[in-house]
Structure 1
Amino acid sequence: MTTSTDPQAYLAAVVSRLTGPDAPFELVEEDVRGARMPVMRERKQAVHELLTASLAHGDRDYLVTEDRRLSFREHGEQVAAFAKVLADEYGVGKGDRVGILAANTVEWVIAFWATQSLGAIAVGLNAWWVPREIEYGVALTTPKVLIVDAKRAALVAESDVDLPVLTMEQDVPRLIEANRGAELRTADVDEDDPSVILFTSGTSGKPKGALHSQRNLIAVSDYHRYSDAMIDAFSGREYDPNRPSDARYLLSSPLFHIASLHNIIVPKAVSGSAIIMTQGAFDVDRVLALVEREKITNWGAVPTMAARLIEHGNVRKYDTSSMTAFSLASAPSSVAFKQRLREEVPFAKNSLVDSYGLTECSTGIAVATPIDVEQFPGTLGRPIFGVALEIRDPFGDVLPEGEEGEVCVRSPYVMLGYWENPEATAASIREGGWLHTGDFGRMDSGRLRLTGRRSDLILRGGENIYPTEIEQVLDEHPDVVECAVVGEAHEDLGQEVAAIVVVRAGATVGEEELRQFATERLSYFKVPTRWRLTTEPLPRNATGKVSRMKVKF
């Protein structure tokens, strides 16, 4: 085959070779829950089929921590044993929910895959929640059993949660050992049956459970396979679906996020890649030591982690020469920040990738390649494989390139909806299967440029925080008349949470009391770090809503 000297022509030829008729990733148009869209012709129907396929990788590393190493074979055996426990002892079956509440650990992954094998729904509860928030998540999703680590077991004990609880440190290993040798059970599920619930904040103040289907997770896995095939093509190597990948991925974000669960744990089971998990608080030296020891090649980090790499000042004392791909996700970062990162962190210089995605979309919406980051600063790249993206005006009409409007997307990655919340689902997923993100941007030369995040959203160190939830908690204090929570710029975290609180006349409540009040009711990252107490009413617009843009410290 003659290789074109025109990069765009060569790219088009590669895409055609991979996605055309009878190609490994042939695209066909099909009906997906009432909307016509391109999907892969050859695809699996159930997430547990990905687990079964992973067993072919045998004794290759699948999960690695600082002090543990689990092969694909060992992982499969433990999943089979734990699935037997869930089914036989706790009655878990198709469509039932299994709550997982823990920091990153091997048992989190085993619990997830065991749930999938039974056709049940894995509920990834936020490990930073306080008892009140745990109660809400459990009441909403009603799991049959809750699988937790020791720290969260103590929090559950403080709550009103009343259901079976299994600890990852003691119960899960004991039960797996007692059922060692069990055959893997698999349920009969359809590709649009539910698979996972992950929580995302909403403008109503309470977290919403984004419900992802079997199709969603399989499509994400196929997208990653396609990306690997593209890399092979540009490396001059023929794509072989049976050849396991030698890439080694660092997993440093929580498993209850799509970045880690949907985009690392699931697809790498298929590709045969090793996943190296960090545990505990993020520590630059421990992470870089893992990169050096495990010869890690790929890492997706939130900007806060990247900022701490810069601050570390001595990254070069570690051997990071194995790193070939380094991406930013979960929160926006400035052009200046990305430039500084490329200058001061050796492995970011030629490999830095930026992206834009949502929990509701299961994976990225657009990805900026290293060339995009360098030559088109401020953009987030082109829509990824399988994503249709439009910029629309308030009436739903499509806008031309260069004009600002709401970012709307359609793809097989878009969630089924919000669990037990048909109103929010109908507001987000509209006619034709289009997800209205609530984010605003424009297209520049085919690349997405965000011009504004969801109107009230605060992005703190990769976590999405909606002010309404915090305001509702503060409003419960007897001395609070009203309040407004806003995001203030923060050098390390991107934004910090700030609260302007109107207290009743004559009240003696102070900042420390309000901080403690919030700490007892909210995850630490939602508790305001900046406060202004006043007796002056908040500014409001003509409809009586607080004008956040006019709220100042």
Structure 2
Amino acid sequence: MTTRDEAVARLTAPGAPFEIHTEDVLGEPMEVFAHRHRSLSELLQRSRGFGDAEYLVTTERRLGFTEHLDEVAALAQALRVEHGVGKGDRVAICAANCPEWVVAFWATVSLGAVAVGMNSMWAGPELRHGLDLTEPRVLIADEPRRALAGEQSVPVLSIEADLPAIVARHRGTASDPTAVDEDDPAVVLFTSGTSGRPKGATHSHRNVLCALWYHLLNDAVAAEMGVPQSGRRFLLATPLFHIAALHNLAVIRLAVGDTAVIHLGRFDIDRVLRLVEAERVTNWGAVPTMLGRVVELGDRLGDYDLSSLRTLSVSSAPSSPELKVAVRRSLPQAARSFGTSYGLTEAAMAATVATAAELEADPDTVGRAVPTMQVEVRDDAGHVLPDGVEGEVCLRGPQMMLGYWRNPEATAASTAPHGWYRTGDLGTLRDGRLRISSRRSDLILRGGENVYPAEVEHVIAGHPAVHECAVVGVPDPDLGQAVAALVVLRPDARTEQEELCSHVIAAIARYKVPTRWVLSTEPLPRNATGKVDRSQLVLLADAWIG
């Protein structure tokens, strides 16, 4: 029987459909897929071949490939003639998951413009920062985010109130994609800021298409190993402003003719499993918190018909070996293909992937580097470390972002010579398998969302009663980590936790707002250099909060 490694070697050999060879990428020699697509518009035009097959499905709407392409052409025409959107311009999208989000994305990139996926959980100041940074020609938003944006110089198109009329007005427009270079920017997605402001990771057409070609190769490998690849229906339950939902689901399903079943609204385990049942979902890529809710159902899981589910994966946050074992027990029909991965927004896709077999052998691994990606573990001086020695995980490949939008300082700080990206994560490599020992510096991973302490501290410190503050992550059985704030008040200050919480809620997304607070007049612990000692802070937070 063909092994996975044998299938990959055969399919990527010279002359094979997924041949990998070396080319110049932005001045550096890198391994690339030789027969890749060169633009996202190329995918879009080919999707008409899938006809009336379902592309996007919700409980409220079903959109086939032909209808989707027609709506994309209509919206693109409106953006071009009514708002002057052209190559290199930005179109911001800020909305909860819905089919119109995806239509807006494809309409934007078909014009050679840059789709700016804004975090739909942002507070008003964060949204306005994103708009100021990227200067879009137009903002496409649902009504709640339209209201949040307030008065703007940029035109705002409401998904509910404006888009239906716009599409109707331009329906019948022939698709007319703009020519682009594969290294032109296509998408900006935001990451939490290490220094207090969200940063816009900028992905080129090449970056996004790298994700596609990895998945196409995966499908071809699975087919060689006798795993059926037809009739797939993928659950889309993570936000479209994340690479997991946009690059690695919505884009790829359009390219291969699969269906994306979109969960609307907040994550609710009963509604999600009823959707899986009703739509006969076959594939689900989840964050650990979601799978934790599945496991918690216990015997009640039998109330749902999940027999269609045949592939399960976990990503976006670390998951414990215990959770993986519990998931296999709860969903045995999907356990044969239960995998995990390690990636980050800057990489546009997973950097490493662990198969079910690899997880069985080593539950702590996040797998091996995907084709065309290089992974090294380095010391503080940038030297490559031997197997088993902990250091900083560094990545290199054609899928790595162009940089942070209009932030050359942050881009320079995160890069090393010859196209290497410094993740800030600590890990070890052994026989090509990566283990992550701790995520980026002080990063808090709350339910699959990244929270950088500096961003939250910046807001808390703006309250007049606060002398100094620090934010840390503390263990949480459901979310993985919770956000905790240790606040030193001014000697004459009079304030309560509720007032500080309201102050923070007004400025940043709710998932970043501390749920655990310690108010004190004692100074924060510091090390010999005078910096706040975060390792001591975590211990203090655990002790004080209990």
Q: Kindly report which structure 2 residues correspond to 1:414-493, keeping only aligned pairs within 5 A, or say none.
A: 414-493=400-479
Matched, 1:193 2:184: yes
CA apart distance, 1:344: 2.5
Q: What does the per-residue CA deviation read over 1:148-199, in whole Å, with 9 as the maximum and x for residues that have no partner?
A: 0011111112xx5321000101201110011110011211110000000000
Name the structure 2 match of 1:129: 122
Letter matched to residue 339 of structure 1 = V
Structure 1 residue 138 and structure 2 residue 131: aligned?
Answer: yes
Pair 1:292 & 2:277 matched: yes
What's 2:530 paired with? 544
C-alpha RMSD of matched pairs (Å): 1.3
Amino acid at match of 2:297: H
CA 1:126 to 1:12, structure 2 compared with 1: closer, same or farther past 3 Å? closer
Residue number among 94, 98, 101 corresponding to 1:101 in the alignment: 94
1:165 aligns to 2:156 (yes or no): yes
Matches within 5 A, 1:23-62: 23-62=16-55
Which residue does 1:235 correspond to in 2? 226
Shift >4 Å, 4+ stretches: none
AA aligned to 2:107 is A
* 2:544 counterpart residue number: none
For structure 2, the 5+ residue unaligned runs are 542-546
Cα distance in 1 between the residues matched to 2:529 and 2:311: 49
Find the aligned partners of 1:505 and 1:274 in 2 and give their Cα distance.
Answer: 59
The answer to whether the 8 A contact 2:94-2:145 is kept is yes
Rounded Cα–Cα distance in structure 2 between residues aligned with 1:109 and 1:509? 45
CA apart distance, 1:236: 7.4
% identical equivalent positions: 52
- Counterpart amino acid of 1:399? L
8 Å contact from structure 1 (residues 341, 348) kept in 2: no
Deviation at 1:517, TM superposition (A): 0.7
Kept in 2, the 8 Å contact 1:326–1:347? The answer is: no
- Specify which of 203, 207, 217 is matched with residue 198 of structure 2: 207
Q: Secondary structure of the equivalent of 1:468?
A: helix
Specify the SS of the correspondent of 1:103. Answer: coil
Residue 240 of structure 1 aligns with which residue? none
The answer to whether the 8 Å contact 2:56/2:262 transfers is: yes
Structure 1 window deviating more from structure 2 (270-279 vs 10-19): it is 10-19
Q: What letter corresponds to residue 138 of structure 1 in structure 2? A: L
Contact 1:316/1:346 (<8 A) preserved: no
Matching of residue 525 in structure 1 with residue 528 in structure 2: no
Aligned residue type for 2:103:
I
**Number of residue pairs matched?**
538
- Residue 241 of structure 1 is matched in structure 2 by none
- Distance in 2 (alpha carbons) for counterparts of 1:264 and 1:44: 17
2:64 aligned residue: 71
Q: CA deviation at 1:426?
A: 1.3
Range with bigger deviation, 35-44 or 207-216: 35-44
Amino acid at match of 1:214: H
Of stretches 378-387 and 88-97 in structure 1, the one that deviates more from structure 2 is 378-387
1:16 aligns with 2:1: no
Aligned-partner residue type, residue 521 of structure 2: T
The change in CA–CA distance for 1:42 and 1:349 in structure 2 (over 3 A counts) is closer
Instruction: Give the deviation of 1:359 after TM superposition.
Output: 0.1
Task: Specify the alignment match of 2:362 in structure 1.
Answer: 376
- Given the alignment of the two structures, is residue 110 of structure 1 paired with residue 95 of structure 2, yes or no? no
Q: Does 1:385 align with 2:391?
A: no
Q: 1:536 to 1:352 in 2, by over 3 A?
A: same
Task: State the AA in 2 paired with 1:287.
Answer: V
Asked whether the equivalents of residues 63 and 275 of structure 1 are also in contact (C-alpha less than 8 Å), the reply is yes
State the TM-score, normalizing by the size of structure 2: 0.97
SS in 1 for 2:176: coil
Choose from 249, 256, 260 the match for 2:234. Answer: 249
d(CA) in 2 for partners of 1:161, 1:497: 32
1:290-369 pair list within 5 angstroms? 290-313=275-298, 314-369=300-355
**Counterpart amino acid of residue 124 in structure 2:** P
In the alignment, the residues of structure 2 paired with residue 393 and residue 316 of structure 1 have an alpha-carbon distance, to the nearest angstrom, of: 49
- In the TM superposition, residue 447 of structure 1 has moved relative to its aligned partner by 1.1
Does 496-505 or 321-330 show the bigger shift? 321-330
Return the offset for 1:319. Answer: 1.5
Structure-1 separation of matches of 2:38 and 2:94: 27
2:333, 2:518 → 1: CA distance?
42
After the TM superposition, which of the residue ranges 262-271 and 337-346 deviates more from structure 2?
A: 337-346
Cα distance between partner residues in 2 of 1:291 and 1:347? 14
Map 1:493-508; keep pairs closer than 5 Å: 493-508=479-494
Aligned to 1:183: 174
Alpha-carbon distance in structure 2 between the residues aligned to 1:184 and 1:144: 21
Cα distance in 2, alignment partners of residues 49 and 106 from structure 1: 20
**Contact 2:312–2:335 under 8 Å retained in 1:** no
Query: Is residue 2:252 matched to residue 1:267?
Result: yes
CA separation of 1:356 and 1:12: change in aligned 2, threshold 3 A:
closer
Question: In 1, distance between residues paired with 2:355 and 2:36?
Answer: 27
Greater CA deviation, 253-262 or 306-315?
Answer: 306-315
Tell me the CA shift for residue 442 of structure 1: 0.4
Alpha-carbon distance in structure 2 between the residues aligned to 1:541 and 1:431: 32
Matches within 5 A, 1:406-417: 406-417=392-403
Corresponding residue for 1:7?
none
Counterpart of 1:82 in structure 2 is 75
> Per-residue deviation at 1:138?
0.3
Q: Structure 1, residues 384-442: CA drift from partner, whole Å, max 9, x if none?
A: 12211111111111111111111111111100000001111112122110111100100
In structure 2, C-alpha distance between the alignment counterparts of 1:58 and 1:268, rounded to whole Å = 14
Secondary structure of the equivalent of 1:486? strand
Shift of 1:119: 0.2
Would you say the 8 A contact 1:284–1:312 is kept in 2?
A: no
Give 1:445 shift: 3.1
